[in-house]
Amino acid sequence: MNPALTDQVKQKYAWTAREVIQREFSQLTVLGACCGGSDDGACCSSAGTDHVHGAGAALNPFGASLYSPSDTASLPSLAVSASCGCGNPTALVGLATGEVVLDLGSGSGVDVFLAAGKVGEAGRVYGVDITDEMVALANSAKRSAGLANAEFLSGQMEHIPLPEESVDVVISNCAVNLSQDKPAVFAEIARLLRPGGRIGICDVVASDALSPDDRAARGSYVDCFAGALSVSEISEMLKGSGFRDVRVELTHAVADGMFAAEITARKSHSG
């Protein structure tokens, strides 16, 4: 693990949280501000807007514009303004009333709030994030929404402060690529999930043709590029961690040879 990289991730997302809070309370509109916190709302990078599937192009390959207006209409504006994802993971997992959900790298809490609405009062949603400022922002948004079935925790996704086999579903939105120990992340997900539990992850992945150096040439670690896995790497890593029905679907380009992807899998009942 490189402590300097960890500090860079914390600093960048702390900056985003502070900037969004300042603008929110200054009555300024910031939709999808993220990562570098650029004024145009770019998250991680503004490169690459062509869709792999479907007609047209996304306004931004990262951020709140990737959710439908109906998804975000009832959410706290503070959380939506700081959204940093590359997809909508709650749409991948078919959440049911009463389920327990964990969001890795929960950031401003958008996906936690969406999941909380789906699992209802009988369910529970946990968000874990390494950046204290993002956890504070998410908690502020939670208070404004009056949610009782959501909880935000400070911590690393490689070491989640929850008991073994306590979660039905794990989601994540453009955060696993920021971990320096992805096998540990997937092992931790497998530890926390009940047998048959499922994952829905939106993340940046690389074409199998790109080497690690190629990925780094397209952007930094904290900007979601240098740390991205290839399609084959993430598939094999999940299978090696005890997951089955692994599926990686590319949704839109974020750079040359790099894509946002929807990743789903299920924990084997035997392990």
CATH number at residue 245: 3.40.50.150
The H-assigned helical ranges of the chain are 3-24, 69-72, 77-81, 110-119, 132-145, 182-192, 212-218, 231-240
| Residue 51 clears pLDDT 60, i.e. is over it | no
- Rounded to the nearest integer, the mean pLDDT of the chain is 84
Kindly tell me the burial class for residue 19, based on how many C-beta atoms sit within 10 Å of its own C-beta (0-12, 13-18, 19 or more).
middle
Summarised one tens digit per residue, pLDDT across range 199-229 is 999 999 999 999 999 999 999 888 889 999 9
State which amino acid sits at residue 237: M
Pick from 219, 148, 157, 154: nearest CA to 187:
157
* Number of domains the chain contains: 1
Q: What is the pLDDT of residues 223-237, one digit of tens each?
A: 889 999 999 999 999
Find out whether 8 and 222 touch, Cβ atoms under 8 Å: yes
What's the confidence (pLDDT) of residue 218? Answer: 93
- pLDDT above 80 (res 143): yes
Contact in structure between 44 and 174 (CB atoms under 8 Å)? yes
- Assess whether pLDDT exceeds 70 at residue 52: no
> What range does the domain containing 145 cover?
3-267
| Cβ within 8 Å of residue 225, ≥6 positions away | 44, 45, 177, 204, 215, 216, 218, 219, 254, 255, 258
Sort strands 243-255 and 258-267 into parallel, antiparallel or unpaired: antiparallel
For residues 90 and 80, the model is more confident at 90
Q: Is the dihedral of CA 14, 262, 254, 159 positive or negative?
A: positive
* Cα–Cα distance for residue pair 224/222, rounded to 1 Å: 5
Residue 46, both tokens: 């503004």
